[in-house]
Amino acid sequence: MFVFVCAGCGARLTVPLSQVALPAHAHQKYGNGVQLPVLMASGTFAVDPEPSGPPWRKWEEIGPDEAAARGVYAPVSALSDGAPGAIVIAPGDADGTVLIPGNRPDGYCCGLDGADGPNVACAQCSLPVASRVDDCSLWQAMWLAPDAVRRLRIDGHGAAPPTWTELMAQNAGTPPYEPIASWKARTEPGHWANYWWSWSPQWEAAAGQALAHLLAASGGQPVLVPGGLAEQVFQRALTALLPAGPPARHAVLAGPGLPAPGGDAPILLVPSHPRTGTTWAPADPVPYLVPLPFGVWRWLAFPVPDLPVPMSGVLSAGVRHDDFDPPAPHPPRLFRADLDVLRRTLVRLPAVRSPWLRKILDDLTHPRHSGLF
């Protein structure tokens, strides 16, 4: 467990926290006028290894060589020249901080977006220490500036990360659709008051990240994924972006609790550990591992049925009493991966320097791909 303190005066700025992997949706911007929940679970923090925040430099100033040294292999509009290692926490886990009065930068809509640097200060010495983000369409978070805070361990030892077996017993997975809240009531079909059922933003971000890896693993050949939910999530985009015709490469789900993958599947969709961020790997190496957040992978590998089975007599352990609990409404549209997450991931894969994959990247916003993202 750790606490973060002000680098200026040493005042404590957070409650005790434990480190977890940076969520795939940490930098996601979702929809328009949408109220997204808090990014981090209470009591946790994650570190973004890349530079973040102002100042920003345009691609023309950076050039491909410097960008590649920073792990970016295709043009982007701009890259941050801020300090690397920003720490993200749940806003409610901050302690001893205050909003900087009047700090309402240009570009905000319904709240704070943190785009212009720290808007939160240490309550004791007034040093700017963090950026509070709560604008619409952004995940609510507090981003601690890495050069304004220090991390202090508050116990001598930390609990070992759970094993894959323990994770399987503890985690039921992330549902693929959920109610999305809006700032104002909507009246379209399928919408009720201030929320509507939609594909999960977390799933759309995870799919964007995984789709980048699937494209890189394809080698420019068609890729086929398993039927069912995985097919809904990936196949439409893979078919549209990759050339048609044999031979196709097969991607299969693999990981804890699943049979060992066969030798004819060079691409494995596998979980990443929610605490450490490490990717599950089989005993026998395969060419390509495509990481998925554990909760998303868990649901893909072991989907949960919509309805409990009606029971009579004594209910078994774990069976809900509401026999007629209705299923969650299915989203009224086809699944769409998050385009920004896809591009952000793709430009950071060395394979994007291949001409065929670079062309896919450049064509992502072509009108013929309308509706994919």
152-167 pLDDT, tens digit per residue, is 998 766 678 999 999 9
Q: Please return the burial class of 204, using the count of CB atoms within 10 Å of its CB with bins 0-12, 13-18 and 19+.
A: buried
pLDDT at 307 (0 to 100): 42
Quick one: pLDDT band at residue 186, thresholds 50, 70, 90? Answer: low
pLDDT at 18 (0 to 100): 94
Look at residue 108 and tell me whether its pLDDT is greater than 80.
no
Q: Please return the burial class of 357, using the count of CB atoms within 10 Å of its CB with bins 0-12, 13-18 and 19+.
A: buried
**% of the chain surpassing 90 pLDDT:** 68
Contacts of 104 (CB under 8 A, 6+ apart): 112
Look at residue 173 and tell me whether its pLDDT is greater than 80.
yes
Look at residue 95 and tell me whether its pLDDT is greater than 90.
yes
Quick one: pLDDT band at residue 110, thresholds 50, 70, 90? Answer: confident
pLDDT at 202 (0 to 100): 97
For 94, phi then psi, to 5°, come to -75, 145
Q: What is the pTM of this model?
A: 0.89
Look at residue 301 and tell me whether its pLDDT is greater than 70.
yes
Look at residue 352 and tell me whether its pLDDT is greater than 70.
yes
Helices (H) and strands (E) in the chain, counts: 8, 19
Q: Which pLDDT tens digit goes with each residue over 274-294?
A: 999 999 999 888 889 999 999
pLDDT at 311 (0 to 100): 45
114: left (phi over 0), alpha (psi -120 to 50) or beta: left
For 290, phi then psi, to 5°, come to -105, 110
Residue (of 85, 100, 84, 99) closest to 45 by Cα position: 85
Residues 290/223, Cβ–Cβ less than 8 Å:
no
DSSP-assigned letters across all residues of 8-73: TT--B-B--BEE-PPPTTTT-B-SSSEE--BSSPTTEEEEEEEE-SS-EEEHHHHHHHHHHHTT--
pLDDT at 87 (0 to 100): 98
Look at residue 321 and tell me whether its pLDDT is greater than 70.
no
